[in-house]
Structure formats: C-alpha cells, structure tokens
Structure 1
Amino acid sequence: MPKLTAPLDLLLLPSWLVPVEPAGVVLQAHALGIRDGKIVFIGSREEAARLSANETRELPGCLLAPGLINAHGHAAMTLFRGLADDLPLKTWLEAHIWPAESRWVSEDFVRDGTALAIAEQLKGGITCFSDMYFFPKVAADCVHDSGIRAQIATPLLDFPIPGARTFDDGLHIGVELFGDLRHHPRITVALGPHAPYTVNDENLEKVRVIAEELDAPIQMHIHETAFEVQQSVEQHGERPLARLARLGLLGPRLQAVHVTQVSDDDLALLVESNTSVVHCPESNLKLASGFCPVERLWQAGVNVAVGTDGAASNNDLDLLGETRTAALLAKAVAGSASALDAHRALRMATLNGARALGLDAVTGSLELGKAADLVAFDLSGLAQQPIYDAVSQLIYTSSRDCVKHVWVAGRQLLEDGRLTRMDEQALHASACAWGQRIAGQHE
C-alpha cells in the first residue's frame, strides 16, 4: 500500500460514504482518498484533514458508493431500442431482432451502438458492464477509448452470426481476443455461448475445455423461459442446468443469466457449483419470461448480480432503476416485505456483480487497494427529503438523474452530469441517423 506521506491525487468529502463491504454500513463525516487510480484512504474527516492532496472535492448532499456494475447486456443493441416492443420473446427474437441483426449489424453498427451504450451507462453511474454481442473486438476498442471497465463476452452459436461464419470461428476470435487483452487494466474477456438451445453438446465441451485452459469466465443465457426448460426436457431428457452440470460447465466461472425457472434440483446445482446468477428483472418482465426467485437464491447462498439486458428488450440501460425493480419484485415473488432490502439491493448492483464477473478483487466495493471506481449520487433533491436512511433513499426514491460524478480507476468520466471524454452531441446525431436508416426512411 502506498504511503500516505505523499500527496493524494484526489480527496473526496461526501455527506455519506457507503463502502458496501462491510455490509450495511453508512459512514458520515468520512473521506476517501485516491492515488494512482486506487483507493488508498478511507477515514474520518479529522484524519483526512492531516493529509495533503493535489485536489480536494467537497460533495455536499452526495452519497459516494462503488460504481454500479451492469452484469449482462448487449451494448450495440441500443440502436434497436424500441424497434419491436410488446411481443413474446420467441416472436420478438425470431421475427424481428434476428432479421434486423442480419440486415444491419456491421462493425460500424457495433462501434456506434456500443459507444452510445457506454455513454448512457456512464451517465447512469455504471462503471463496469458486461457485453455479449457481435464483433467483440470493435466493442473492446470502444471500451478502451471511453475509459469505462468491461467484460467482453464473445458470442458463440452453432449457426453463422455477424463476424463469425462458424462456432469455431467465434471461438477462435474469443481466444485471440483473450490473449490480446490479457493484461489490459480495464477489460476482461469471457466466452459467451448464447444459450443451451443454440449450442450443442460437442461445442459446449469445447467451451469448457478452453475456459479451463485460459481460466476464462463464461456467460450464458440459462433458464430464461419455461418453454426453454420444457424443450430441453423433451430433446435431452434433462433440464438445461442439469445438462450443463453433466457437461462440466457449472462452477464459479459461469455467469448464468436470467434463471427464471428454478426447481429444488436446480437450486442445489447452483449452490453446490458456486455458479453466479445474473438477474435481469425488467427485460424478463417486458418479455413475460418469468420471475427469478432472487430471495430464495440469496438465502441459499447463491451470488446474485443484476443486469439490464439489451436496450432492445428493456428499453434502457438504467441499472439504478433496474435495482429498484429487482428489490420490489423480489418482495412480491418471495411474499415478504423484508426480502432484498435496500442495502442488499445495492450490494447486488455492485460487489455481487464484481464477484460474478471475477472482478471482486478489483472493484465492487470501497476498500483500500481497490480501483477507484466510484459514483457520487446527489441526494439533495426535494423528492428525496427527509433522509433517514441514505441507501433506502437511493434505491427507492432516486433516479439515474441524480448521478453527479463518476470515476473509473481514478479518472473522472462524468463531472456534474456531463461526460468528460465522449461527445454527447455526436452520439445523439449518430443514433438518430441509424434510427432513420433502420426505420426505412433512407433505404
């Protein structure tokens, strides 16, 4: 740990400091110090007054927390936002989204869509996100340029996809990207087999072998709908989680996205394997896919993170709003008003997300030595008064509009609600141009 005799790069003085770890703690009259992109000081204002800093920032009325972690999404699909609303999942996917992707997705589409998604996420307090979409190298370039942190999950399907003619092509791209970015300070690479119903046993075996060789994470849509589970039983004689267990895919490196259907046997497999679940409540609600039993999973010891899914099925990348929905939905599903309280909901959107992505040693909580991935939420608004519990006010009364400042690895990427490294007007113009093309106005 760097000695505190040298000046800090930045000393932050918020009204509330919520480290997330230890759980349930809200610190007042405290400060946080940053040097070389890492947190090197957390202590009282009295202690902070004895330190020197190159810059000191008072954050009155602000709650300083770890940056939010969006553990699942398809960033470039932001350009399909609102394209095919109010349709069943199968119809939405097969009759609208897949044809649109076949027609429009290119490197330029992914570049522009990913940049738009990154900007939206930064403005909403997200400092790290997971992306599973085509042309992953292009997405990784966008992440590198923007300053945000991300996991890039290379999509893998049995049939041709944009940028990969075969499953093996996709796997080669993933392995190559993993090697290229192995030492990148803000980007990790995962393998992204799309779902049990789009990847056969032979190819899933390839994923398992390579993931073990590289020690790479795996992200996969699993148990998203009751139909998926029923189809698996009919075709394979077992539920998808049981099939994945048989193939050796379950484990701490697997990120199981959605998981709306959970039997007692499914729960036992998740617990025994230490598999993480990524909950996407608003996408599941909008597509009527089902309800992830978050409280049941949590009480059993399963690590549950939260994700937005893509903006084509959400329709936003608002993780604070997603977390509020998750907290409220968990209570209804569990039949208990005390299920997923505000502090645990914030943990789900921060440290649990980091743990799911294998980044909990780096980010997800405000602890000495971790990266200074931070968000300052402004709780001074009229609608947030009075404040008895700052975390409850954050989760239950606040919107992403209260995000004031964002830092990733100590670099400020949002200041007073304005992006510091991205051109908002250019992003807006680009998104509108794509919308006009896709809507058929300029075919």
Structure 2
Amino acid sequence: MTIDLLILARWIITVDHDNKILPLHAVAVDKGIIINILPHNDALRQYQATQIVELPDHLVCPGLINAHTHAAMALLKGLADDLPLMEWLQQHIWPIEAQLAREAFVYQGTQLAIAEMIRSGTTCFNDMYFFTQAAYEAVHESGIRANLGLILIDFPTAYAPDVAGYLQKAQELIHIIEPDLLVTASIAPHAPYTVSDESLQALHGIAKQYGLSTHMHIHETAVEVQQALEQSGVRPLTRLNELGLIDEHLMAVHMTQLNDEEIALLAERHSHVIHCPESNLKLASGFCPVQRLLDAGINVALGTDSNASNNDLDMLGEMHTAALLAKMVAHDASAVPAQQALRMATINGAKALGLQNKIGSLEIGKQADMIAVDFGVLEAKPLYDPVSHLVYCTNRQQVTHSWVAGKALMTKRQLLTLDEPTLHRNAEHWQDLIAKRDHT
C-alpha cells in the first residue's frame, strides 16, 4: 500500500488510554491521518511510503498542546520582570499595549511565538489576545494548529471602543475562522474583574449560538478573590456559576485559589482547569491544587501563559515544573507522576479544547500531530523510562521534528514554514521601539 509518510522511531509514546510505550515501532500516515502504528519490520513490508523518516535514537509522541497563552506578547518578553501582577500589568504591560498593540504587533509577535513553540514541541496552542484576525493570519500561514480566543474586556482599547465593538468583532472572526480545518475559536472574556455580568451574558450568548468554549482567567490571585468578596459579597466562581458559565465548555485558567466546594462544583460540571505553573510562580500568584483537582476527576491541562509573564513558551519545561511543584504542594512525591504530566500537556489539553477525537494522542484515525525528541544525546544517557526522561531531563533543543496533520513544520530543527532571518529582524525592530516607550 502506498502512503504519504512512514516514521520509524526508537520509541512511540501513544498517550492513549493504556499509555503504551512501543519500542522500535513506526507511525504510518496518509492524507494527514494516522492509519497504523506497528513494528518497524511489519511497517516496511506493508507500506510503500512517499517519505520515510528514520529516527533510530528518537522518541515520537503527540505534539504538545499549550492550553493558555497570549502569543503576540512574545514581543514583551523580559520587559518588566520581578514585579507583582497588578503593578506589572498596570504600569508596564497595559501602557505599552495601549501605545503599540495593533495589527502589525500582533501578526509579527504571534509569528515569533509560533516559531518558539514549534521549536520546543508545541503543535497546538490556545490563545487570547487583541487583533485576533492578525493572529489568525500568522497561524494560518505557519501551519500550526490553534484555538483563538474572541476577547472581551470592559474598557476601550485600540481593538474595540466598547463592548458592542468586541461582540461585533467576535462574530466577524467566527466566520473568518470557521472554514479552517486547523483553527477553532472560543469566547475569551478576560477575567471576572474586567468583565461585567451584562458583557459576560452577551458573549456567552454568542458561545451558545456557535457552540464555542469559554477561555477565561479565574481565581488567579488571592487579591482578586478578596476584592470580589468586598465588592459583591461572593467569590468570582460563585458569580460565574450564577451566570451559567460553569459547565463542560469552561477552560478556567490559573485557579490558584480554590476551596473544597469550588472543586466539587468544577467536577460536577465537568469544567477544565488550565494550570500555568511557571507564570504563577514568577508573579507569585499562588499554587493551583493540581493533585486535588485530578483526584476529584477534573481535567487539568497545561499552559505557559505569555512570554511576558513566563519568559518562554516551552511546554517541556512547563511539564517539568508542573510535576515538581505538584509534589511540593501536595506534600507527596507521588503526586503528578511523569505520565500524568505528559497527559496534561497532550490529551488533557485536547479535551479542554474539545479536540480529543482529533489530536492529543497517537492513535489510528487521529490526525498526525507529532513531534520527535532526540534521546541519542549524552545528557539522555542512561535511559530506563522514556516518559520519565521526557518530563524530568529533556530540554527543548532535543526536539528535532514537528508535524501537524502530517505536514512537517520542522525537520532537524529547521523551520519549514517560517523565515528565521525575518523573525530576527522583526524582533529587533520591536525591541528598539518598545524599549523607548517603557519607563522601567
């Protein structure tokens, strides 16, 4: 049988229901779909492939899913480090965005972020930012998979003058994105403290009309929760529940402040939590109780947050941090083992995005979103458990290949859909411009 692509690897990590680790196996791909996973010799006998990729020292696994970021903020990396969240936002990030965040900023910033994500193993990301059509253009041209948030915030920006403007742009973007097989949309109200009840209800109406999920920062800090209590007498999650937003379509980001009743509510409603450990640590926002959420049956995925609050978009690093931090928070060395951390970065992200039937694991019938990681390097020796190695001692420089729906986005660390010299020039242009505007 003639097929498009045959990948022969040292290990295939499926992240399927049984978490299979398959040594000396191959992935057969045709028309972007995984049609078989089988031993090397059987694959070579059964298939004639247009392209054969031999990876004798590599692990092949599902592409990583960055379930929360603000991609265009790659241009703000390192701008205002070592500051509390609200000072960081109000005195640095928001003023620069007000001056400079326009279509070109978003397009070129998103391109830079996509390049970093591809080079560190991400094949799908969940975004929230302004000028979403510019982000969409960068995504579409690159060939990466993405879910783009239709943002709403209750004050005027260069993107929209008022709530009606945000809602109009959301509906326009739905129709632009809808035909793209690699791009989906969600509604993205920024946070409970920046969006009113009326705005939330209006945006939620659009979500119900088009069958979209909700992507929102919630319970990010203790201050946020305390201010809500002082102003309204209820915690943000209680308010969102009263508005009907706590359901199976909710992607609740950060969630560092949770009590037992709230965990039970999230579990009952089958909501998803997006954990961003490194951003939370850097901004001293708090600790998401990951193991408690998992024990309650809640789907927990991983995100990096933005380059401005994390300084990288490295999901391998995020897995590592998530696994270690969870053990300390739970006071249990067995909390969030390596296999669980990998699931949080792959299939759990797919579930949060409603894409679990397409991506997130390597299984027959799913789309071929995959990465290859080189374990032939000295730092990977000796090796007893490839999944443990992937989480605890692998860095992003070891990611050598990336495919989305069977299309190669990177081969031997060479980007195939983005021009690196152009990315360098654009980043240096914005660096000079932003440095002149920020008063750090």
Confirm or deny a common fold (TM above 0.5).
yes
- Displacement, 1:266? 0.9
1:298-320 CA deviation, whole Å, 9 max, x = no partner? 11100000000000000111111
The residue correspondences of 1:4-403 to structure 2 (distance < 5 A) are 6-51=1-46, 52-403=48-399
In structure 2, distance between residues paired with 1:419 and 1:29: 27
Maintained 8 Å contact 1:174/1:190? no
SS in 2 for 1:309: coil
Measured in 1, the distance between the counterparts of 2:158 and 2:345 equals 31
Post-superposition shift, 1:353?
A: 0.5
Tell me the distance in 2 between the aligned counterparts of 1:410 and 1:394: 22
Specify the alignment match of 1:411 in structure 2: 407
Instruction: Give secondary structure in 1 for the equivalent of 2:126.
Output: strand
Equivalent residue letter for 1:380? G
Counterpart CA distance in 2 for 1:49 and 1:144 is: 34
Q: Secondary structure at the match of 1:345?
A: helix
Residue pair 2:92, 2:438 contacting (<8 A) in 1 also? no
Greater displacement, 173-182 / 80-89: 173-182
Give the distance between the partners of 2:142 and 2:192, measured in 1 at CA. Answer: 33
Say if 1:225 and 1:261, in contact at 8 Å, map to a contact too. Answer: yes
What is the SS of the residue equivalent to 1:11?
A: strand
Letter in 2 for 1:10: L
DSSP 3-state at the match of 1:153? strand
* Distance in structure 2 (CA, Å) of the matches to 1:381 and 1:22: 30
Alpha-carbon shift at residue 361 of structure 1 (Å) = 1.2
Offset at residue 22 of structure 1 (A): 2.4
Unaligned residue ranges in structure 2 (runs of 5+): none
Cα offsets for 1:318-366 (capped at 9, x unmatched): 1110110001000000111011110110110000001111111111110
For residue 155 of structure 1, report the CA deviation from its aligned partner. Answer: 1.3
RMSD: 1.3
1:228-268 superposed Cα distances (whole Å, 9 cap, x missing partner): 11111111211111111110001111100000011011101
Q: Stretches of 4+ moved more than 4 A in 1?
A: none
- Per the alignment, in what secondary structure is the counterpart of residue 266 of structure 1? helix
Instruction: Quote the Cα distance in structure 2 between the aligned partners of 1:370 and 1:273.
Output: 27
User: What letter is aligned with 1:257?
Assistant: V
| CA–CA separation in structure 2 for the residues paired with 1:378 and 1:15 | 10
Q: Which deviates more from structure 2 when the two are superposed, residues 50-59 or residues 406-415?
A: 50-59
Structure 1: how far apart are the matches of 2:437 and 2:76?
15
| Residue segments in structure 1 that go unaligned for 5+ positions in a row | 1-5
Does the aligned pair in 2 maintain the 1:297–1:304 contact within 8 Å? yes
Could you tell me how far apart the structure 1 residues matched to 2:290 and 2:394 are?
22
For 2:45, what is the secondary structure of its paired residue? coil
2:96 touches 2:438 (CA, 8 Å); kept in 1? no
Distance 1:87 1:217 in 2: 32
CA distance in 1, matches of 2:437, 2:64: 37
The alpha-carbon distance between structure 1 residues 253 and 442, as it changes in their structure 2 partners (threshold 3 A), is closer
Task: Give distance in 2, aligned partners of 1:297 and 1:427.
Answer: 39
Q: Distance in 2 between matches of 1:398 and 1:97?
A: 32
How many positions carry a matched residue from both structures? Answer: 438
Residue identity opposite 2:284 in structure 1: A
- Aligned partner of 1:3 in structure 2 is none
Normalising by structure 1, what TM-score? Answer: 0.97
AA matched with 1:45: H
Aligned mates of 1:245, 1:224 — CA distance in 2: 17
Q: Secondary structure at the match of 2:49?
A: coil
**Aligned amino acid, residue 56 of structure 1:** I
Instruction: Report the CA distance shift for 1:23/1:285 in structure 2 as closer, same or farther (over 3 A).
Output: farther
Distance in structure 1 (CA, Å) of the matches to 2:106 and 2:310: 18
Give, in whole Å, the separation in 2 of the partners of 1:97 and 1:105.
Answer: 10
Task: Quote the offset at 1:442 in angstroms.
Answer: 12
Tell me the distance in 2 between the aligned counterparts of 1:296 and 1:11: 41
Deviates more, 1:39-48 or 1:138-147: 39-48
Q: Aligned partner of 1:324: which letter? A: H
Q: Which is worse superposed, 208-217 or 324-333?
A: 208-217
Deviation at 1:180, TM superposition (A): 2.3
Task: Name the CA shift for 1:23/1:290 in 2 (closer, same or farther; >3 Å).
Answer: farther
Paired AA for residue 16 in structure 2: E
